Amino acid sequence: MIKNGYGKLLDFQVNGNDIVINYEHNKVFVSIIRSTIINFFVPLFRKERNSKAVENFETTHRKFEIKAIENGLEIITEKLVVKIFDYFKTDIYDKTGNLLCQDYRGEKAPFERRFSDYDLLAAEGHKTNANSDEKIYVVKKLEEDTYFYGLGERSGHLNKKGYHYVNWNTDNPAPHGETFDRLYKSIPFLIGIKKNISFGIFFDNHFETTFDMGRDNKDYYYFSAADGNLDYYFIYGPSVKEVVENYTKLTGTTPLPQLWTLGFQQCRWSYGSEARVMEIANSFRKREIPCDTIYLDIDYMDGYRVFTWNKEKFKNPHAMIEKLKSMGFKIVTIIDPGVKVDKGYKIYDEGLENDYFAKDNQGIVYRNEVWPGDSVYPDFLNSKTRSWWAKNQKIMTDYGVSGIWNDMNEPASFKGPLPDDVMFDNDGIPVMHKEAHNIYAHFMAKATYEGLKKETGKRPFIVTRAAYAGTQKYSTVWTGDNQSTWEHLRMSIPMLMNLGLSGIGFCGTDVGGFGHDCTSELLIRWVQMGTFTPLFRNHSAMGTRDQEPWAFDEKTEEINRQYIKLRYKLLPYIYDMMWQCNKTGAPLIRPLLFNYQADAETYELNYEFLCGDNILVAPVVEQGAKVRTLYLPKGDSWVDYWTGEIHEGGQYIIKNVPLDICPIYIKGGSVLPTYEVQNYVGEKEITKLTLQVYLTDENTSSTYNHYVDDGESFKYMVGEYSNYKIKVTNGEKVEIKLKVIDNNYKDSYKNFQFVFHNLKEKEVIINGETKAVDDKGKIVIIKP
């Protein structure tokens, strides 16, 4: 609904896959995107759809029926029945008659908030949590057996029922807690599960928006916006997998990353000199702890001027980076949007001369303050500004920099937030800050992506703090300035799972925590969790204690080394899962419900997750814990990674968890490809792929696809890759079929080694030939 309503439904017209519904007071446009995706659009702010998330998406005519019904009309696709009535009340069913999503017919009735002296409350610094004004308000009936997920980076539990969130990218340095209703990213995409049927709602509005999942009233949930158009997509599953796949078809999937970006990464605010950077690099190699990436935070710059170097601390950046490259390290440098006001500084002068900066409402370049002091903000909504920013990436790549870290891009500001009426130029369309705010970082990431792609020809590696829906097409994300506390370790797990469900397939946290002082035990448990997350980066703040893997004692160092090496062992599996993510949107880190939706016991498991399809991880998140209770979903058996013990699914178990053990379980019947451990990606030529086969007492049949390409270029997009299909049948004997489906890339594999777990003296047949197995369950075969 909107404030002035719609009135009675008068008539409708059909034009291809678009339906125009005429009401007394408004027009509603309904588009059949697919048989499972319906778009509802009302041009309240601009006539055109102004999506910044849905780019280059083509719809073709879809088969559907439409007919008039009492007080409305009915649209029937192959999968859905949509009934639209007077006052734009809309109910959506699946083809079997299950009611999926129904507009609420009652009055808005949030619970009463009681105040006595409001001014005194505010003076003491308390927030009232009152609802903000909204021009758009869509309210849906909430049923008791509904669960909610998604909405990107959010504190709180996995299931978002009962929560209330605001989409307004916010840099809040206070320790994040469950009461935070906004953080750095705005992804207005909600997934619901009701009676084992899943659907999604993507509210494509980049003004400040609100999602309330039954906090205000248990009878309804709603989404609203301060301004803009009513533009939302209903996305039918019926599985969560299909909802995520369809959502990422709209907004884009995560590009396949360079292989090295999946290795271990080390960061600190700041490694502030060449000597300190080399000390860190030499320590990794001396201690044989694998690492691919070292970050440089703001102190590498000259007076915090972006695209510059402090030549006193880094006398010859190019030579330093070349030396690090010879050691296997890639350098990632931070770049903030704030450009220092400084005549004679190339970036400032060029931006001023070419009108690349945002302005105030009087047409004067707007200034605020960030790290460099008095600063101006590039107008990333303008394509000419983005092109200029993209070209500036060459400054960094010419030094040998391998990736860019975009920070402070909410945009952050030290002298109060940017006013709503700061003006941007969206290629001829004036846009106020209140509209531009949530997409500012999105377009900064896009400009950076295009620049790195052009200058290097490789898949760009960009890390961003702020984001909007669809930013996954351009950038990796991390969850911002967390704290070295057990609470934040716990919070990060559902946060990353919901980011994955929201299309952000390449995500991670600051392992060990950014602020506060980490402890040995906390770092160990966080590294154990981070081993299985897409972005695996240790990062800590200025003034906190050292947090590198060796910063505590020998035992801590050894356990950290053990898990970081495990990460490198699993790189081919993780890369396979990122390949799947690129194709279908399926995230690497995912809640158990993603694969086991039929098992309702998985719907609210906050502190365990799946790493891809075959690995279940239950991190230890309590200080001093000696045991860990965890759930194994039904439908599969599970093999304890450490002991080989087989557990039936559909039960809770208790696992002993000494400090060096993170509970890891492998799905029965599955295959895990592994590599020989390296100190960095590319250190060794990989001539042998080891396929770990996890058998159970049950008869199983499973298929696994292993993908390999050059690990850095875009040649895979034109088919230059190899795809190996491994089928495992476990019955009275074990039969393996290994073949190459796609063989357009000359990989370095010379042979394949099979390692069988729980073989129990069964006969093994590979591609029709009986093979002898050694006493460790190993077979080596020549490449097919």
Q: pLDDT tens-digit profile of 419-473?
A: 999 999 999 999 999 999 999 999 999 999 999 999 999 999 999 999 999 999 9
Which residues are bridge partners to 511 per DSSP? 538
Q: Give the span between the Cα atoms of 458 and 260, in whole angstroms.
A: 12
Over 304-329, what HEC string results?
CECCCCCCCCCCCHHHHHHHHHHCCC
Helices (H) and strands (E) counted in the chain, each on its own, are 12, 50
Q: Compute the Cα dihedral for 638, 641, 644, 645 and give only its sign.
A: negative
Burial class (CB in 10 A: 0-12, 13-18, 19+), 499: buried
Query: 674 with 692: CB under 8 angstroms?
Result: yes
pLDDT of residue 777: 87
Which residues are bridge partners to 672 per DSSP? 692
Q: Count the neighbouring beta carbons within 10 Å of the beta carbon of residue 73.
A: 18
Does the active-site annotation cover 481?
A: yes
The secondary structure of the chain in percent helix, strand, coil, rounded to multiples of 5, reads: 20, 30, 45
Q: How large is the average pLDDT for residues 507-514?
A: 98
Residue 115's H or E segment, with its range, is none
Among 227, 186, 247, residue whose Cα is nearest residue 584 = 247
pLDDT of residue 123: 58
pLDDT of residue 761: 86
Q: How large is the average pLDDT for residues 311-333?
A: 98
**Confidence tier at 195 by pLDDT (50, 70, 90):** very high
- Give me the percent of the chain exceeding a pLDDT of 70: 97
What are the C-alpha distances in Å from 531 to residues 80, 525, 673?
41, 10, 16
Helix, strand, or coil (residue 359): strand
**Active-site entry in 242, 336, 407, 557:** 407
Tell me the CA end-to-end span of the chain in Å, nearest whole number. Answer: 61
Phi/psi of residue 708, each to 5°? Answer: -145, 135
pLDDT of residue 113: 85
pLDDT of residue 721: 97
Q: Give the span between the Cα atoms of 314 and 276, in whole angstroms.
A: 10
The alpha-carbon radius of gyration of the chain (Å, integer) is 27
Does the active-site annotation cover 407?
A: yes
More confident residue, 281 or 760: 281
Question: Phi/psi zone of residue 152: left (φ > 0), alpha (ψ -120 to 50 degrees), beta?
Answer: left
- Output DSSP code: residue 754: E
Q: Compute the Cα dihedral for 11, 138, 247, 184 and give only its sign.
A: positive
Q: Compute the Cα dihedral for 539, 630, 557, 175 and give only its sign.
A: positive
Among 212, 208, 229, 199, residue whose Cα is nearest residue 54 = 229
Q: Compute the Cα dihedral for 441, 443, 444, 446 and give only its sign.
A: positive
Give the DSSP per-residue string, 384-439.
HHHHHHHHHHHHHHHHT--EEEE-STTT--SSSPPPTT-EEEETTEEEEHHHHGGG
Residues 6+ apart with CB under 8 A from 495: 153, 154, 155, 479, 509
pTM of the entire predicted model: 0.96
Over the stretch 676-731, which tens digit does the pLDDT of each residue have? 999 999 999 999 999 999 999 999 999 999 999 999 999 999 999 999 999 999 99
Give the DSSP per-residue string, 245-260.
HHHHHHH-PPPPPPGG
Residue 275 token pair = 């000597």
Q: How large is the average pLDDT for residues 304-331?
A: 98
Over the stretch 278-294, which tens digit does the pLDDT of each residue have? 999 999 999 999 999 99
Over the stretch 167-177, which tens digit does the pLDDT of each residue have? 999 999 999 99
Please state, rounded to an integer, the average pLDDT across all residues of the chain: 95
**Active-site entry in 231, 245, 292, 410:** 410
Q: Give the span between the Cα atoms of 5 and 416, in whole angstroms.
A: 36
pLDDT of residue 48: 87
Over the stretch 347-395, which tens digit does the pLDDT of each residue have? 999 999 999 999 999 999 999 999 999 999 999 999 999 999 999 999 9
Residue 97 token pair = 């008659």
Among 160, 142, 177, residue whose Cα is nearest residue 591 = 160
At residue 528, what is the residue type?
Q
Residue 447's H or E segment, with its range, is helix 440-456
Residues 6+ apart with CB under 8 A from 592: 599, 602, 605, 608, 609, 610, 616, 631, 633
Query: 473 with 415: CB under 8 angstroms?
Result: no
- Give me the percent of the chain exceeding a pLDDT of 90: 92
Q: Count the neighbouring beta carbons within 10 Å of the beta carbon of residue 110.
A: 14
pLDDT of residue 339: 98
Q: Give the span between the Cα atoms of 579 and 593, in whole angstroms.
A: 21
Query: 765 with 734: CB under 8 angstroms?
Result: yes
Among 274, 292, 291, residue whose Cα is nearest residue 330 = 292
Helix, strand, or coil (residue 728): strand
Q: Give the span between the Cα atoms of 513 and 526, in whole angstroms.
A: 8
Q: Has residue 3 got a pLDDT over 50?
A: no
* Helices 520-530 & 554-569 angle (0-180, nearest 10): 0
Residue 46 token pair = 């601009």
Q: How large is the average pLDDT for residues 256-281?
A: 98
Give the DSSP per-residue string, 3-31.
TT---SEEEEEEETTEEEEEESS-EEEEE
Among 26, 64, 62, residue whose Cα is nearest residue 43 = 26
How wide is the angle at C-alpha 226 spanned by C-alphas 41 and 339, nearest 5°? 105
Q: Give the span between the Cα atoms of 288 and 759, in whole angstroms.
A: 33
Q: Has residue 75 got a pLDDT over 70?
A: yes
**Active-site entry in 171, 292, 481, 608:** 481
Over the stretch 91-144, which tens digit does the pLDDT of each residue have? 999 999 999 999 999 998 898 888 776 565 555 555 555 555 789 999 999 999
Q: Has residue 232 got a pLDDT over 70?
A: yes
Q: Has residue 218 got a pLDDT over 80?
A: yes
Over the stretch 471-493, which tens digit does the pLDDT of each residue have? 999 999 999 999 999 999 999 99
Residues 6+ apart with CB under 8 A from 43: 27, 29, 229
Burial class (CB in 10 A: 0-12, 13-18, 19+), 688: middle
Q: Give the span between the Cα atoms of 224 and 431, in whole angstroms.
A: 20
Helix, strand, or coil (residue 205): coil
Q: How large is the average pLDDT for residues 573-581?
A: 98
